[in-house]
Structure formats: C-alpha cells, structure tokens
Amino acid sequence: MPDDRLQRQIAFAAEVDRLKLVERRTSVIGGARLENSAEHSWHVALLCRVFAEYAPEGADIQQATWMLLLHDVVEVDAGDTFAFDEAGYEDKEERERRAAERIFGLLPDDQRAEAMALWEEFEEGATPTARYANALDRFQGLLQNRGNGGGTWLEHGVARERVIERMRPIETAVPKLWPVVLATIDEVFSAPRPSRGPGSTVY
Amino acid sequence: MPDDRLQRQIAFAAEVDRLKLVERRTSVIGGARLENSAEHSWHVALLCRVFAEYAPEGADIQQATWMLLLHDVVEVDAGDTFAFDEAGYEDKEERERRAAERIFGLLPDDQRAEAMALWEEFEEGATPTARYANALDRFQGLLQNRGNGGGTWLEHGVARERVIERMRPIETAVPKLWPVVLATIDEVFSAPRPSRGPGSTVY
C-alpha cells in the first residue's frame, strides 16, 4: 500500500484530469471545436518558455510555468468564466476560492500550501512573475482569436475597446508583444464588412 | 511590424496549437472521449511538480517540465503512435525527426537548437532528467487506464506482460511509484471475468 502522502498525490493527479472537460469560449485554431482549459494551460505554459526573453525584470520563469500549469485547476469545480461575462465575474472569486481549497486540499499539506500560494499570487497579479503569467494567459487568447479571424470577440459582439482593456496588462508586463496585440485588434476589427451596395460610401 | 525573431516565435506558438487535435488511444478519466496530446502534455508536466521529490538524483525538474511540454509537439506532423503498435513504431523515429526539424525550425535558431536538444534528450532517455520525464509519461497513461478500469489495455487486448514491460522504466527511475504500478496492473488484470457457468473450474 502506498503511504498516505503518496496516496494524496495520486488522488490529486487523477482529480485534475477533469480539467480536460472544462470548455472555454475560445476555439482551437481552425475552429474545429472549443478549446478546453487543460490544453489551454499546456499552450500557455509552453509560451512561457518561448517568450521568456521578454518577461518583466524579476520574473521567475520556472515559477511562472508552474503557475500557468495550475492557474485554471480551480475550474474543475468552478467552471470557466468567460472573460467578458460581467455577471459571471460577480461571484467568480468566491467560487474559485472554494474550489482551490477543495482541490489543492487533496495534496499533502506542504504541497497544498505551495499550490495555494502560487494560485493566489497569480490571481493578485502583483509580482513580476504573476504579471508575466497573466499577460501570457491573455496573449494566448489573442493568438486563438487571431487564428480564427476574430473568433470569440466577433461572435459575442465584444467591443474593440473592451478587447483592448482585456489585453491591457500585456502593455506593461510584456511591452514587446503590445504592438502585435494592437495590430491584431486593428486587423480583426477593420476587416471588410459586407458591401452596402453601389452608391454608398464605404470609406 | 514585429521583427523577424518575434515573428518566428509567434509562428511557432500558433503552429503548436494543432497538437490539440492529435488524439491518443487513452481516454479522459470517465471515458467521455479520447484524450489529446496537448492536454496529456499539460497533465504530465503538472505531475512533474507533484512527484518531484521522487525524481532520480541529478534530475533537473525545470528541464523535465520543459521536456514534457515539448515532448509530443512532433505529433503535429507525425501523429500519435500507440504504445503497443509495433508496425507504427517501425518508422516512428524517421517520421518524428522530420517533424521536429520542421516544427522546431519555425523558431529562431538558438531556440530551435534548444528545443531539438531537449526533445532528443527525452527520446534517448539516458539522463536522469529524461528518465524522470519518461517515467511520468508512462505513469500518466497508467493513471488514465486505472481510472477507466483497464481502459486501452483491455480494449486492445494488450497482455499483462506487455503492460509491465511498457511501465518498466518507472521501476528504476521512480521506484517509489513502482508498487503502485504493479498493484494497478494486478487490479485491472484480475478483475472478475464473466462466469463460465456452473460446474466449470475458475481457479
């Protein structure tokens, strides 16, 4: 029989599998289906290495990677809250805190405390590590919507200004990526609309 | 316009998204659908931290994490090869090498070389870091099949001995997990079979 510590680690390892069944609002590039939070977490953790040279001074890339691997685990209980859903955001904090306590609580105490601290650091977004992780989390959403010609933003009629606000943390955390963000938003929101017919002014 | 370096990093970041569409033979726990290689990579990278205390001496946990985030990216071109498919294994190395060259080749040269070296280290499986990563890759498959009452092993009629051989690298790399592996295999392969009817000898 595995000892209690190992049993708890295995219980956690099996429980987080459910994150694969939590759907986000963004689609995989190409639009075949919605993306889930587990594969999103993989993608953004990988971006953490790819863009490491642009991280803010003082960011710990290894910690940012762990943070991103863990950041959505609470959704196993709390579900994904769409970035532009104001009502959903009202009780998001409360729902996610309860989820964090239950799910990280499956781990041995020292690991529970570490995971909880990392998740809280991400949520507060105050340290260079958390600011980097947070910026990548948003940038990954932008990559998906860019690959899908506007994706979620256009489908849900999100205004250009709200998308810019959502992406804003990238501007200071990873300034190198900011021109890409603005160019992408410009491109998506200025794509040709259906013609108004002859005689109308389109410019 | 982003400079050439950044453009290449973004091209890579978008290209790897396709890993989300590569199906494995294992199912998510509960059996709702097959698991894909991107969410599998997330899962196993997370296990890298959870089981870090049992890693072989000299393993670099951060490098093992990068390795696991990258280890299946070649499947974007080469597809997943089922662990028990002997024919598929014949040209696996060649297919995957071509894929690695193309996909990691999207990155700037220094990052291409780093990614290639990490992937090769994983494939060769000789260093403590690679042995740890490789053991977790197999253990994650065991967790899935354990959660699904035998899953892929029973569906594809894989013999108990072949499963043990497949899991064998865990024995020396992460000996702490080996009794769990054996107990799981025992449990799965000794689950009650349909009765042969009255009068037959079942033991």
* pLDDT over 70, % of chain B: 94
B196 has pLDDT over 80: no
pLDDT at B199: 38
A13/B143 CB distance under 8 A = yes
Question: Residue A2: pLDDT band by 50, 70, 90 thresholds?
Answer: confident
A191 has pLDDT over 90: no
Question: Residue A203: pLDDT band by 50, 70, 90 thresholds?
Answer: very low
A39/B39 CB distance under 8 A = yes
Question: Residue B92: pLDDT band by 50, 70, 90 thresholds?
Answer: confident
How far is the C-alpha of A85 from the C-alpha of B46, rounded, in Å? 29
Q: To which H or E segment does residue B36 belong?
A: strand B34-36
pLDDT at A118: 98
Contacts of A38 in chain B (CB under 8 A): 38-39, 42-43
Query: Strand B34-36 and strand B23-27: pairing?
Result: antiparallel
A50/B13 CB distance under 8 A = yes
A184 has pLDDT over 50: yes
B21/A32 CB distance under 8 A = yes
Pull the structure tokens for residue B119. Answer: 């992937």
Are residues A157 and A199 in contact, defined by beta-carbon separation less than 8 angstroms? no
pLDDT at B83: 77
A33 has pLDDT over 50: yes
Task: Tell which residue, B142, B189, B179, has the closest CA to residue A13.
Answer: B142
How far is the C-alpha of A39 from the C-alpha of A19, rounded, in Å? 9
Contacts of B10 in chain A (CB under 8 A): 143, 180
Question: Residue A85: pLDDT band by 50, 70, 90 thresholds?
Answer: confident
> How far lies B58's CA from each of B63, B64, B125, in Å?
11, 11, 14
**pTM recorded for the entire structure:** 0.91
3-state DSSP assignment of residue A186: helix
Task: Report the largest interatomic distance among the alpha carbons of chain A, rounded to a whole angstrom.
Answer: 80
Q: Which residue has the higher pLDDT, A157 or A9?
A: A9
Pull the structure tokens for residue A4. Answer: 């209690």
CA A168 to chain centre: 14
Q: Measured between CA atoms, how close is B168 to chain A, in angstroms?
A: 18
B147/A9 CB distance under 8 A = no
Mean pLDDT across A102-123: 98
A16/B66 CB distance under 8 A = no
pLDDT at B91: 86
Q: What is the DSSP string of B42-98?
A: HHHHHHHHHTGGGSPTT--HHHHHHHHHHTTTTHHHH-PPPTT-HHHHHTHHHHHHH
A51/B9 CB distance under 8 A = yes
pLDDT at A196: 41
pLDDT at A201: 33
Q: What is the mean pLDDT of chain B?
A: 91
Q: What is the mean pLDDT of chain A?
A: 91
Task: Tell which residue, B50, B68, B77, B85, has the closest CA to residue B158.
Answer: B85
A9/B50 CB distance under 8 A = yes
pLDDT at B193: 53
Using alpha carbons only, what angle is made at residue B74 by residues A177 and A62, rounded to the nearest 5 degrees?
50
Q: For chains A and B, count residue pairs whose Cβ atoms are closer than 8 Å.
A: 122
pLDDT at A198: 42
Mean pLDDT across A94-113: 97
Matching residue, tokens 């009650």: B192
User: Choosing among B20, B44, B75, which should be mutated to test the A contact, i.e. which has the most A CBs within 10 A?
Assistant: B20
Q: Which of A9, A18, A50 has the CB atom closest to B12's CB atom?
A: A50
For residue range A134-168, what is the model confidence (pLDDT) as tens digits? Answer: 999 999 999 999 999 888 889 889 999 999 999 99
Q: Which of A35, A45, A146 has the CB atom closest to B20's CB atom?
A: A35
Q: Measured between CA atoms, how close is A199 to chain B, in angstroms?
A: 35
User: Choosing among A26, A35, A39, A118, which should be mutated to test the B contact, i.e. which has the most B CBs within 10 A?
Assistant: A39
Structural domains in chain A, CATH included, are: 4-189 (1.10.3210.10)
Q: Is B28 left (phi over 0), alpha (psi -120 to 50) or beta?
A: beta
B108 has pLDDT over 60: yes
B195 has pLDDT over 70: no
B143/A17 CB distance under 8 A = yes
A200 has pLDDT over 90: no
Q: Measured between CA atoms, how close is A140 to chain B, in angstroms?
A: 9
Choice among A5-9, B8-12, B88-92 with the minimum mean pLDDT: B88-92
pLDDT at B152: 85
| ipTM score assigned to the predicted complex | 0.91
Phi, psi of A36 (to 5 degrees): -105, 165
B39/A43 CB distance under 8 A = no
For residue range B109-123, what is the model confidence (pLDDT) as tens digits? Answer: 999 999 999 999 999
pLDDT at B192: 66
